[in-house]
Homo-oligomer: A and B are copies of this chain.
Amino acid sequence: MKNLAMDLPGLNLKNPIMPASGCFGFGREYSEFYDLGELGAVIMKAATGSERFGNNTPRVAETSSGMLNAIGLQNPGVEKIIETEVPFLESFNVPIIANVAGSTVEEYIAVAETFNQTDKVNALELNISCPNVKEGGIQFGTDPDMAANVTRLVKQVSNLPVYVKLSPNVSDIVAMAKAVEVAGADGLSMINTLSGMQIHLPSKRPLLANKTGGLSGAAIKPVAIRMIYEVKQQVSIPIIGMGGITSAEDVLEFLLAGASAVAVGTANFHNPFICPELIEALPEVLYKYGFSSVEAAIGKGVPSYG
């Protein structure tokens, strides 16, 4: 069998496959389908400083080869997550990544600090790119200076490695990536969802109560690949890639573009077994295209790496 293992800051991954934030809750539901210990890691749903109820419904819409969502960061708040959700995930032998969100820089810092105080999660994913929060989240995600600032402040309060999750809704993804690298990010997660909308013809209004939502799924894969490929040439911190993965071939495509591991979001909804199935299928795909390990494939599609 091919070597699927991969070491990233704070994460000893037995394979490069993890569920993406927000698409897997805190793991409970999918743990009824399979042993979460099979996963490379688990990225938890976004945590905010206090409980959030999120947006009104409808919160999801189907699109061609994708979907829109505007959940609005519904979550019980960081304290409750640490109290009731993290212990459950700890019962599996799997690294835990906490997705950190907020409306203000202070909220990001507070959430990161709270996770840091427990020794129960392995890394933070700084969600500066959620397009569904109005009060500021979107700003951090499109302005390099603000993104760098929040990254720097979070790094100051936390010993945990920080993966900054980038928004694709920007003119210059490389500028964003460089800014957060300089600010101390240990890695990048990319991409979050593209801002989109669907209009419901019978009501003549945006279908989502929040009007806009984040586009995910196979539809956005070419955008994710392009951004990772561009960023890989300009930054040296590792990238967790995501956006439309549905097959082991897709996983390899992300690795070649420069990702060191991948996250799978929307595909869980259609097939709850997608993550273990990808883990099982990956060795053969690596072999078919001439790679002896995950590590050997990383960045091999990128000129300066390949």
Residues of A within 8 A of B (CB): 63-66, 68, 142, 169-172, 194-199, 201-202, 204-206, 211-213, 215, 217-223, 225-226, 229, 244, 249, 252-253, 256-257, 289, 300-301, 306
Instruction: Name the CB-closest residue of B to A254.
Output: B199
Q: Which residues of B contact A66 (CB under 8 A)?
A: 64-65, 219, 222
- Given A64-B221, A197-B225: 18 more A-B contacts, CB < 8 Å: A63-B221, A64-B219, A65-B218, A65-B219, A66-B219, A194-B194, A194-B223, A195-B223, A196-B225, A197-B229, A199-B257, A201-B249, A201-B252, A202-B289, A204-B289, A204-B301, A205-B301, A219-B219
Collect the chain B residues with CB atoms within 8 Å of residue A201's CB: 249, 252-253, 256, 289
Question: Which of A195, A197, A212 neighbours the largest number of chain B CB atoms within 10 Å of its CB?
Answer: A197
Count chain B CB atoms within 10 A of each CB in A195, A212, A220, A244 and give the residue with the most: A220
CB-defined contacts of A217 to chain B, threshold 8 Å: 64
- Identify the interface centre among A65, A194, A212, A219: most chain B CB within 10 Å of its CB: A219
Q: Is the interface of A mostly helix, strand, loop or mixed?
A: mixed
CB distance from A220 to the nearest CB of B (A): 7
Q: Which residues of B contact A170 (CB under 8 A)?
A: 170-171
User: Which residues of B lie under 8 Å from residue A301 when comparing CB positions?
Assistant: 199, 204-206
- For A220, the chain B residues whose CB sits under 8 A away are 219
CA distance A198 to B218 in the complex (A): 12
What are 7 A-B pairs with beta-carbon distances under 8 A? A63-B222, A66-B222, A142-B171, A170-B171, A196-B222, A204-B301, A218-B219
Question: A211 — which chain B residues lie within 8 A by C-beta?
Answer: 229
The CA-CA distance from A172 to B66 in the complex, in Å, is 23
B-side contacts of A197, CB under 8 Å: 222, 225-226, 229, 257
**Copies held by the complex:** 2
Complexed CA–CA distance, A68 and B37 (Å) = 38
* Assembly CA distance A221 to B63 (angstroms): 8
Contacting residues, chain B, for A222 (C-beta < 8 A): 63, 66, 68, 194, 196-198, 213, 215
A256 shortest CB reach to chain B, Å: 5
B226 touching A212, Cβ below 8 Å: yes
Picked from B169, B171, B204, B212, the residue with its CB within 8 Å of the CB of A306 is B204
When the two chains form their complex, are residues A215 and B204 in contact, meaning their CB atoms are under 8 A apart? no
Q: CA–CA, A66 to B289, complex, Å?
A: 25
Cα(A252)–Cα(B65), bound, Å: 21
Interchain nearest-CB distance for A291 vs B (Å)? 9
- B215 pairs with A223, CB closer than 8 A: yes
With A199-B301, A256-B201 known to touch, is A206 a contact of B223 (CB < 8 Å)?
no
Determine the distance from Cα of A198 to Cα of B257 in the docked complex, in whole angstroms: 9
Distance, CA A125 to CA B154, complexed state (A) = 46
Q: How far is the CB of A253 from chain B (nearest CB, A)?
A: 5
